[in-house]
């Protein structure tokens, strides 16, 4: 374990590790990630700029420069401010911070989260997260996503709040639709389950990583996605890590996104 101690892991790492270990190996260990399509790259860059805009707005800094050339950015900001009460009327008895980062040491790994906005009151704390796509049709998939689970888990582990005192709300901003939200509340049973599932996933990761480093064995496939995935035969413990994937590889991320129903990364 010494050689893999203090690895930083985010929710994106956990999601990919949980959903598609071979792709985790290629993206994070071999740096062979598939280049994003121009369309996806544009969406990602717009999303990043929107997050920067929200952070500047929360800090009380001018956002004029950021919205000057992009009316959609300005309209999205206005729509979100109108929709989210805590952005318009900050409560007297609360503390809040945009891009609030927390790290938890867990079984030799550093689990890291960055909350788009954390609002802390004496009796409860709320995590807010901005998404620049439409609200997903299946809320359960977002509930199961490691972003939801890790964000809530780490807040409890690094504060005095009880699980029942915290929640996470996703706001989905994609004009011309009105912003919509999804809130997930937490409790001690979910916290216990997250703790157990984290332990299991990180134990698996430790084993896969040791086998990969010491014996050149590829990370294994998940079992519940193989029927629909053309890559299930291409990578796995029996194949060489130097195998070359064909052009269709660019669809790989789409397949994983369909499984997660949440945009990567």
Residue 202 within binding range of ligand SF4, rule CB under 6 A:
no
Task: Give every CB contact of residue 102 below 8 A, 6+ residues apart in sequence.
Answer: 112, 113, 115, 154, 155, 158
Residue 221 within binding range of ligand SF4, rule CB under 6 A:
yes
Among candidate residues 145, 128, 146, the one with its CA nearest the CA of residue 182:
128
Of the candidate spans 25-33, 109-117, 179-187, 228-236, the one that interacts with ligand SF4 by CB under 6 A turns out to be 228-236
Name which of 20 and 119 has its Cβ closer to ligand SF4.
20
Neighbours of 125 (CB within 10 A): 23
CB 14 to ligand SF4: min, Å: 15
Would you say 86 and 96 are in contact if contact means Cβ atoms under 8 Å apart?
A: yes
Taking CB under 6 A as the criterion, the residue among 48, 177, 226, 254 binding ligand SF4 is 226
Would you say 111 and 159 are in contact if contact means Cβ atoms under 8 Å apart?
A: no
Residue 112 within binding range of ligand SF4, rule CB under 6 A:
no
Of the candidate spans 40-48, 65-73, 170-178, 220-228, the one that interacts with ligand SF4 by CB under 6 A turns out to be 220-228
How wide is the angle at C-alpha 233 spanned by C-alphas 246 and 41, nearest 5°? Answer: 45
Taking CB under 6 A as the criterion, the residue among 14, 20, 127, 128 binding ligand SF4 is 20
CB 226 to ligand SF4: min, Å: 4
Residue 229 within binding range of ligand SF4, rule CB under 6 A:
yes
Would you say 159 and 62 are in contact if contact means Cβ atoms under 8 Å apart?
A: no
């Amino acid at each position: 374990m010494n050689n893999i101690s203090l690895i930083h892991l985010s929710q994106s790492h956990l999601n990919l590790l949980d959903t598609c270990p071979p792709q985790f190996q290629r993206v994070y260990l071999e740096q062979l990630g598939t280049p994003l399509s121009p369309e996806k790259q544009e969406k990602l860059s717009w999303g990043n700029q929107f997050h920067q805009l929200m952070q500047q707005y929360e800090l009380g800094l001018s956002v004029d420069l950021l919205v000057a050339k992009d009316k959609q950015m300005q309209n999205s900001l206005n729509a979100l401010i109108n929709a989210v009460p805590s952005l318009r009327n900050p409560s007297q008895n609360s503390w809040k911070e945009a891009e609030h980062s927390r790290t938890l040491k867990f079984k030799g790994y550093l689990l890291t989260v960055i909350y788009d906005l954390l609002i802390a009151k004496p009796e409860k704390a709320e995590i807010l997260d901005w998404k620049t796509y439409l609200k997903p049709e299946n809320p359960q998939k977002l509930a199961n996503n490691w972003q939801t689970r890790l964000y809530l888990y780490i807040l409890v582990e690094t504060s005095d709040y009880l699980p029942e005192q915290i929640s996470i709300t996703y706001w989905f901003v994609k004009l011309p639709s009105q912003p919509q939200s999804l809130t997930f509340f937490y409790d001690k049973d979910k916290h216990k389950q997250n703790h157990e599932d984290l332990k299991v996933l990180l134990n698996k990761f430790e084993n896969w990583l040791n086998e990969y480093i010491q014996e050149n064995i590829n990370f294994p496939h998940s079992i519940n996605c193989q029927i629909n995935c053309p890559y299930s035969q291409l990578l796995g413990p029996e194949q060489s890590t130097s195998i070359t994937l064909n052009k269709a590889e660019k669809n790989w991320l789409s397949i994983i996104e369909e499984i997660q129903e949440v945009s990567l990364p």
